[in-house]
Copies of this chain bind each other. A is one copy, B any other.
Amino acid sequence: MAQPDDALGYARAHREAFIEDVKTILRIPSVSTAPEHVPDIQKAAEWVAGHLKSLGFQSVKVLPTARHPVVYGENLRASASKPTLLVYGHYDVQPAEPLELWTTGAFEPTLRGENLFARGASDMKGQVLCFMKAVEALVKTSGETLPVNLKMMIEGEEEIGSPSLPAFLKEHKALLKADLCLNGDGGIVGPDAPSITYGLRGIAYFEIRLTGPATDLHSGIFGGAVHNPANVLAKLIAGMHDAEGRVTLPGFYDKVRALEADERAELNRLPTPEAWWLEKSGAKALSGEAGYTATERATARPTLDVNGIWSGFIGKGSKTVLPSKAAAKVSMRLVPDQDPDEIERGLKAYLGKNAPPTVTWELERMGCVRAPLVDRKSKAVRVGMEALKKVWNREPYFARNGGTVPVVSQIQDLLGIDSLLLGFGLPDDNLHAPNEKLHLPTFHRGVETYVRFLAEMGR
């Protein structure tokens, strides 16, 4: 049986070596949305598989899907009476653009102060390695029989909405059978504020494309006669919020589960007052749905954001074009019990009603998932909270996270397994943005938390 104290000692003695392995995988630009990075996706998957083998995992495989492979490996040496954990992670990353805003190369991991900078450092190659290093500490100090049975499932499509995962989960349902899913694709409230996340937001992501004139026109010759689709798109997007910051799409709030007074009190006890959001975002002022605090708005209320917009001439200089086309990527963060299908119908109804007869529009649905909530009273949550408390020596928080982890919903729906969200990313890790980073002191506390968690789950 693993001895946490020995494993913790090993972890403390091997911090530099752990980080070297993190750097190695960060050097692989496994951008899942970019066709040109398919070879890097394969390389990253094989690196993870090799590392699992080196830790004594068995049946390690790089399993194909319709697009990017899933890495699987198991260590079922614990007795059948011990719980089996399905550990979820992903080895793919977001695009690194805009490259010119990175201080050092996105795929050249660089240490500055307490942080390691690279795309994927926090989201989530760093988190995957954090768990694997806890396993390493246990294996190296107590042998290959772990306190619990583990099944690792590390996918390569999380950053594009995990399109192949549902089919994968269905195909490998028996292989993936487990008592609980441990999902490290989350974070804690702050470096001194450990937390477990019991709620996430869902998402409904769309691309809206408008066409006005048949071709780009000269704005001098046609301007005034012809409706400009970029102006039309601006008006359509502007109309999606009212003066109170509420989303105007038909039915948008119909299914939103109201926040109870005690839950709001708990969320607002989190160490994230308005000043925190201001500082972390670097915004000059905050704004959003009237009647809610920033923490509530960002974690427990639905939103609508433009993720991208483009039309006409966007190079340097001036071009007097009246564009033929205008497009925007628009996504809504969802909360329980909003249904992405109903949101899509609302968006279509809005566009149908408000798009003028001067343009045609089309809508592409690009990845939608409901918002999951986890049972706060389960044993795993209690053990996780205790582990956090021991490592940080302070009371952890219950938190909701405004991000989306589609796999949590899918694993619940398709495998019938609840997910414990225990990960160690920080809100200022610049996820999906330039200068993404991993906070090393938090990484090392994460390793110790996982060691304690695994040991205690096996008792």
Chain A interface (Cβ < 8 Å from any Cβ of B): 33-34, 94-95, 97-98, 101, 160-161, 201, 203, 205, 207, 212-228, 230-231, 233-235, 237-241, 277, 280-289, 294-295, 297-299, 301-324, 326, 328-329, 331, 333, 356-360, 366-367, 401-404, 427, 430-435
Contact = CB atoms under 8 A, between A and B. Distances in A.
Contacts of A284: 212, 357-360
A433 to B, nearest CB: 4
A302 B219 CA distance: 11
Given A217-B433, A312-B306, A321-B433, A224 B333 contact: yes
B220 A231 contact: no
27 contacts: A33-B315, A95-B317, A160-B318, A161-B318, A212-B284, A216-B432, A217-B433, A219-B307, A221-B298, A222-B281, A223-B298, A223-B402, A224-B298, A225-B295, A226-B286, A227-B283, A227-B286, A228-B305, A230-B309, A234-B306, A284-B359, A306-B326, A307-B318, A308-B312, A308-B313, A309-B312, A320-B331
Question: Interface centre among A233, A281, A295, A427, by most B CB within 10 Å?
Answer: A281
A284 B360 CA distance: 8
B305 A322 contact: yes
Contacts of A360: 284
Contacts of A34: 317
Q: How many copies does the complex hold?
A: 2
Question: Interface centre among A217, A241, A318, A326, by most B CB within 10 Å?
Answer: A318
Contact of A281 (B217, B289, B307): B217
A213 B321 CA distance: 30
A323 B307 contact: yes
A282 B161 CA distance: 37
A305 B226 CA distance: 10
Given A231-B305, A321-B433, 13 more contacts: A217-B432, A220-B333, A220-B403, A222-B402, A223-B333, A234-B234, A282-B324, A286-B358, A307-B320, A308-B312, A309-B311, A312-B329, A320-B331
A314 B318 contact: no
Contacts of A310: 309-311, 314
B366 A318 contact: yes
Given A226-B281, A307-B320, A402 B221 contact: yes
Contacts of A402: 220-224
Contact of A225 (B215, B277, B329): B277
Contacts of A427: 221
Contacts of A224: 288-289, 294, 297-299, 301-303, 333, 402
Question: Interface centre among A160, A223, A227, A237, by most B CB within 10 Å?
Answer: A223
Given A215-B433, A218-B432, A313 B289 contact: no
Given A215-B430, A306-B230, A309-B230, A315 B97 contact: yes
